[in-house]
Amino acid sequence: MVELSHDSRPIIGRGPPLTAYFLALAASSIGLMVADQRYHQIDQVRAWLSAVVHPVQRAVDFPFRATHWVTSSFADRGRLRQQNLELTARLRLANLQLQRFAALEEENLRLRDMRAKTVGIAEKVLVATILNVDLDPFRHRVLLDKGAVDGVFRGQAVLDGEGIFGQVTKVNAATSEVILITDVEHAIPVQSNRSGVRTIAVGTGDLNKLSLPFVTVESDLESGDLLLSSGMGGVFPAGYPVAQVTKVKRSGSTFATVEARPTAGLDRARDVLLVWFTPPPPSEPATAVAPDGTVDGKPAATSPAASTTPGAGPASRPAATPAAPGATPASRPAATPAAPGATPASRPAPTPAAPARTAEPAPAGGE
């Protein structure tokens, strides 16, 4: 390699002046970054470039897909039988629960005198497959094989069979990028299924851990509690499992250290569900549910959130919670809304702009 070939640039007449060329290109990349980050004006450019690289991503994904296809088409009879038996058993169980669920939902609607519009249950789902390509190792993002042509939109909720998976951040023509709930830039409003305590679960960058930084020491959260999506902000449908509390440490003066483990198979899932649902109306005068509304201090999202409190939670608990801050006026009412206020501020708008802005303030709030 070390030889002066005819390729070596001649001393005189080196072609375009290197430094000028460098400066021009550097300026254009800085311009691109600013345009992309600040003004979102070059989404069209990105869409074109994505279309160019799409075959590459497909090609990288192909061997994995092919292996999966081969192993599944040549699966032996015994294994299929076994699987079939298991699935039948699970379906029977699920159907049984569903019967109860239908009755409970009916009862719940009656008890709460709720309008259909506040239910936020998945109306339409689309199965998408995760492409086997690695994005940045330090961000929890995955690429799905469904895009704008399938009707995917920015901010769409993504679930898997076991819980909430993430939300769509970028939509290309035939693919879309999803931020997982464990990404450090992601935060999701949750509610304890047992006690009805509402808070925010923030990603930690660890696939098996969510952190709940805004839980006060006197909050009624225990290890083992199931956290459901609260439906606040309208990005995620309400009442789907998000995580299970694994650790509650009440050592600090104001906030407890709470960790939770996501229920969704973030590192295992192959197929996920893109969900369409009618989000609760973003702004409605918070008249009906004043106590709950004041607790979490998010006027924009109060009423839907309060009314979508999962039915399992005892009706009395949420009402009991406001009593606690009343007793200790120091921290909770002020601290809770103030800190996460940055995070969900963008959530009430279920518009396409929501996820991008959601993504940004989280670290600030988390620190």
Partner 1 sequence: MRQQSTFVRRLLYWTSMAAGLVLAIVPLPTWLDPVRPDLALLAMIYFILTSPRIAGLGYAWLSGLFLDVLRGMVLGQHALGFLLVGYVTHKLQLRMRMFPILQQAAIVLLLLAVYHFVIFWIDGLTGHGYTAWIRWLPVLSGALLWPLVVAVGDSLTRRSS
Residue 133: CB minimum distance to partner 1, A: 4
In the complex with partner 1, which residue's Cβ is closer, 30 or 91? 30
Q: Which two tokens stand for residue 283?
A: 């702004």
| Residue 132 vs 278, nearer CB to partner 1 | 132
Edge-to-edge strands, sheet with 271-276: 124-129, 271-276, 157-160, 163-171, 176-180, 141-144
Q: Quick one: which of 288, 277, 289, 296 has its CA closest to 334? A: 296
Residues that bind partner 1 (CB under 8 A): 1-9, 15, 18-19, 21-22, 25-26, 28-33, 35-37, 42, 45-46, 49-50, 52-53, 56-57, 59-60, 64, 132-139, 141, 143, 170, 177, 184-185, 205, 267, 359-360, 363
Query: Smallest gap, in angstroms, from Cβ of residue 234 to partner 1?
Result: 23
Q: Token pair 């609760």 is at which residue?
A: 280
Q: Which H or E run includes 69?
A: helix 43-73
- The CB-of-136 to partner 1 minimum distance in angstroms stands at 6
CA distances, 364 to each of 51, 157, 207, 358 (Å): 34, 23, 20, 11
Strand-pairing partners, residue 30, are: none
The nearer residue to partner 1, 210 or 266, going by C-beta atoms, is 266
Residues 6 or more apart from 112 whose CB is under 8 A from it?
307
> Among residues 169 and 195, whose Cβ is nearest to partner 1?
169
Dig out the tokens for 357 from the structure. 């802005």
Q: What is the dihedral of CA 222, 228, 233, 235, to 10 degrees?
A: 140
CB of 348 to partner 1, least distance (A): 21
For the bound state, the minimum distance from the C-beta of residue 170 to partner 1, rounded and expressed in Å, comes to 6
Q: Closest CB to partner 1 among 137 and 329?
A: 137
Query: Closest CB to partner 1 among 5 and 73?
Result: 5
Tell me the closest approach of the beta carbon of residue 209 to partner 1, in angstroms.
15
